Amino acid sequence: MAEMKDKVTLLMEETGCERSEAELALELCGYDLESAVKAIPRLFQNIVVLKARIRAEAVPLYGLLLVILNLKDKSLLRARAVVSHNPAVYASELEQHWFDFEARLYACRLWVGSVQEQSQSVEQKLSTYFASPEAQDFYDEGSDYKDKDFDALRAALSVELGAAVELTAQQDVLDMGQFQEVRPRGEGSGEPQPARRPARVHGGPGQGPGGMLVLGVDFERDEEGGIPASSLSAGDLVYTRISDSRDIAQYLGKLFGSRSGDGVSPLLVPIEAIETEEGGRMTIRVRFSAGVCGDLSVDGATKLKAVPRPSQTPWWKKIFGR
């Protein structure tokens, strides 16, 4: 019984879950702590993604909105927006996977007609609205939002854009594991397949879904004090060089501050996601800015110069470090 209590406590500390969730995860995993740590993100669907199109014909302006809510702690995880005079923005499909929708939103920001100042103002309006008491019903678990539930948001956006706004939205409900994936996992009754991105010729750089720019990069190695790639996770920071030879990549390198003269210095950038491949290799995606990322496949044993994100001590260290 004491051992069980220790496992529950460790699982709660490691994952931030509640006691009832920890007990359920351990029971479902045969009281194997390592399996329960991996299972926790998949057990509870408390991530809500709201994808929306807006238009104000009187101006005219068109836009896309993406809002991601964590129902468990009633927090706003993400608020993204683009506002444009280009009506093609409004033609974006709401049915697509949220990751592709976000990439589409970022790509629309680069189109002719995009209004950067108003895009940022709408993002701020979204952040303010979803932090207000007026929006608290959106954080109720099991809610299926109707068109009228967005009336207050429509009114706020109408004031912001200076004309009556039409808003069409779609709601997706995810578990934390699905939200943390780079790409949607394959469907089927068996074990989920590893997430895959669209193929790139010879693993080279290119354009990702929805117009996202994928740069060729290299990571700084550190055989003495580095961290094995297999030990890294999303949120960790890794020293990255932009090795892409394209003009746009060199321009962005200067913009990000990694190029000065003929030299290329590494940037400390966050890991967005990691995909495990066959043979112990893994593809690591890093994020430079909105709509610009970098991918590189490395061996899991490769030691990289990286900075772990602040976190609690791993559960296995707590056990063996006593």
Q: Which of 321, 54, 280, 8 is nearest to 169 (CA)?
A: 54
* Cis amide bond preceding 205, omega within 30: no
Q: Which residues contact 197 (CB under 8 A, 6 or more apart)?
A: 182, 183, 208, 209, 275, 283, 295
Angle between helical axes of 151-161 and 116-130 (0-180°, round to 10): 150
> Cα–Cα distance between 252 and 211 in angstroms, integer?
16
> Cα–Cα distance between 87 and 65 in angstroms, integer?
15
What sign results for the dihedral spanned by CA atoms 195, 80, 205, 92? positive
Q: Which residues contact 153 (CB under 8 A, 6 or more apart)?
A: 129, 135, 167
> Cα–Cα distance between 234 and 236 in angstroms, integer?
6
**Residue 188: what pLDDT?**
38
Whether residue 264 contacts residue 285, with contact meaning beta carbons closer than 8 Å, is answered with no
> Cα–Cα distance between 242 and 122 in angstroms, integer?
32
**Residue 236: what pLDDT?**
87
The single-letter code of the amino acid at 190 is: G
The helix/strand count (H/E) of the chain reads as 9, 15
**Residue 239: what pLDDT?**
93
* 317 SS3 class: helix
Can you give the pLDDT of all 322 residues of the chain as single tens digits? Answer: 445 567 778 867 776 666 766 776 677 677 777 776 666 655 555 788 999 999 998 988 999 999 999 887 788 988 999 999 988 899 888 988 888 888 889 888 888 888 888 999 999 999 999 999 888 888 887 677 888 889 999 999 999 999 999 999 998 887 666 666 654 444 433 333 333 333 332 334 554 544 567 888 999 999 988 999 999 988 889 999 998 887 777 777 777 777 655 567 888 888 888 888 878 899 999 988 766 888 999 999 999 999 887 554 554 454 444 4
Angle between helical axes of 19-28 and 2-15 (0-180°, round to 10): 110
* 160 SS3 class: helix
> Cα–Cα distance between 234 and 224 in angstroms, integer?
23
How many residues belong to the chain? 322
**Residue 219: what pLDDT?**
94
* 170 SS3 class: strand
